[in-house]
């Protein structure tokens, strides 16, 4: 398959929107930018097109997809009911990086829901994504645009590396603003439950719907159940090299990473540090700051890209600094736990 690239950094040409809409309606695959990460899109009402997503990504069939919409009235053809809590969350955070899980309508293909009786839906705030979704006027299923298990793609370059020749179109939208996938909330339970943390924090959600609960697997090993949300599988977002994360007092983290560097001195070592600690490490083959500990938004935006840069450098092992489990730190640590395959040392 020859993949076509279209430009959509801030705006997208009307003729290109038409090409994308036609491709969706013909059952093709289109990668498009969102504010979180790039999405690999297919017509969410077309089972044959949906199967192409799983084939292109190498994605397990029991991993549900998220439907992306442009308008709330589109929910009528997707969900069976909308709770008052869901209405409140949509009022507060849509459009934006929040996915809500509803009871599905029977017309939604099982390929979207992994056979569950629920469906995940979100409304992106990215202008180009919204324009495309509004023009196609049907739900578009779109998991992250990467090979399954690898770090999600936040730039056109990484999408091209993973999916060139496997999709019909890639829309180049520059770098994603958020850098990690959307927060996922199950509104079919009372009180609603956070299944995947993201840019919108538990604290922000709780301000709108008090009493919000959190799925215990967010920062623990997956128990083997069929996931209700993408990203609940244990190994996810993983670089090629084994990665290890260290969490606790910053001085203790530095000491443990330096000790680990010394113990693996014959290997090509990468250290993902922070602005505050960059000068504390010696002996790393590849040393990168993810950003300041005072600005976790920057760290979230950079995380997946820097894990991929470690792959570019063909390092043997990666040591990553961890973060406090509150606010956006929960979301970052959720991604690091999975990227490291559980190799996280807490309480330093």
Residues 159-191 have pLDDT tens digits of 999 999 999 999 999 999 999 999 999 999 999
Q: How much is the mean pLDDT over the chain?
A: 94
Q: 239 near 151, Cβ under 8 Å?
A: yes
Q: Give the list of residues 6+ apart from residue 14 with CB closer than 8 angstroms, or none.
A: none
| Structure token digits, residue 332 | 């970052």
Q: 79 near 102, Cβ under 8 Å?
A: yes
Q: 329 near 296, Cβ under 8 Å?
A: yes
What are the E-state strand segments in the chain? 4-7, 30-32, 39-43, 66-68, 98-103, 118-122, 140-141, 169-172, 183-186, 193-196, 213-214, 242-246, 269-273, 286-289, 317-321, 344-345
* Per-residue pLDDT at 234: 43
Q: Is the pLDDT of residue 232 over 70?
A: no
Q: Give the rounded percent of residues in the chain with a pLDDT score beyond 90.
A: 91
Where b means 16+ CB within 10 Å and e means fewer, 257-273 reads bbebbeeeeeebbbbbb
| Structure token digits, residue 16 | 């290109």
Residue 335's pLDDT band (cuts 50, 70, 90): very high
Domains delineated in the chain: 4-219 (3.90.870.10), 242-345 (3.40.50.11030)
Distance CA 337, CA 50 (A): 29
Per DSSP bridges, beta strands 317-321 and 39-43 are unpaired
pTM: 0.94
Residue 262's pLDDT band (cuts 50, 70, 90): very high
Q: 182 near 97, Cβ under 8 Å?
A: yes
pLDDT tens track for 69-78: 999 999 999 9
């Amino acid at each position: 398959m020859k993949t076509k690239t279209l430009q959509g950094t801030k705006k997208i040409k009307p003729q290109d929107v038409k090409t994308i809409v036609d491709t969706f309606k013909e059952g093709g695959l289109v990668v498009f930018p969102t504010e979180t990460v790039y999405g690999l899109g297919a017509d969410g009402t077309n089972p044959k097109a949906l199967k192409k997503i799983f084939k292109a990504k190498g994605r397990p069939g029991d991993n549900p997809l998220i439907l992306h919409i442009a308008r709330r009235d589109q929910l009528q053809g997707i969900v069976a009911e909308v709770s008052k809590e869901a209405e409140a969350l949509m009022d507060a955070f849509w459009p934006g990086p929040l996915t809500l899980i509803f009871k599905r309508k029977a017309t939604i293909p099982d390929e979207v829901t992994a056979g569950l009786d629920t469906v995940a839906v979100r409304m992106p705030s990215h202008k180009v994504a919204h324009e495309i979704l509004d023009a196609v006027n049907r739900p578009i299923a779109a998991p992250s645009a990467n090979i399954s298990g690898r770090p999600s793609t936040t730039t056109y370059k990484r999408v091209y590396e993973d999916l060139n020749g496997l999709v019909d179109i890639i829309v180049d939208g520059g770098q994603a603003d958020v850098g990690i996938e959307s927060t996922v909330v199950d509104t079919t339970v009372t009180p609603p439950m956070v299944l995947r943390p993201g840019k919108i924090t538990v604290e922000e959600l709780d301000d709108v719907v008090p009493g919000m609960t959190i799925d215990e697997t967010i920062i623990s090993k997956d128990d083997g159940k069929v996931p209700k949300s993408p990203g609940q599988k244990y190994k996810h977002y993983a670089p090629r090299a084994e990665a290890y994360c260290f969490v606790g007092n910053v001085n203790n983290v530095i000491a443990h990473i330096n000790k680990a560097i010394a113990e693996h001195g014959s290997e090509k070592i990468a250290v993902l540090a922070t602005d505050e600690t960059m000068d504390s490490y010696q002996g790393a083959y590849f040393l990168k700051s993810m950003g300041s500990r005072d600005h976790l938004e920057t760290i979230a935006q950079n995380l997946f890209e820097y894990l991929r840069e470690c792959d570019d450098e063909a390092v043997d092992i990666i040591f990553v600094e961890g973060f406090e489990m509150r606010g956006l730190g929960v979301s970052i640590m959720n991604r690091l736990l999975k990227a490291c395959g559980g190799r996280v040392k807490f309480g330093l």
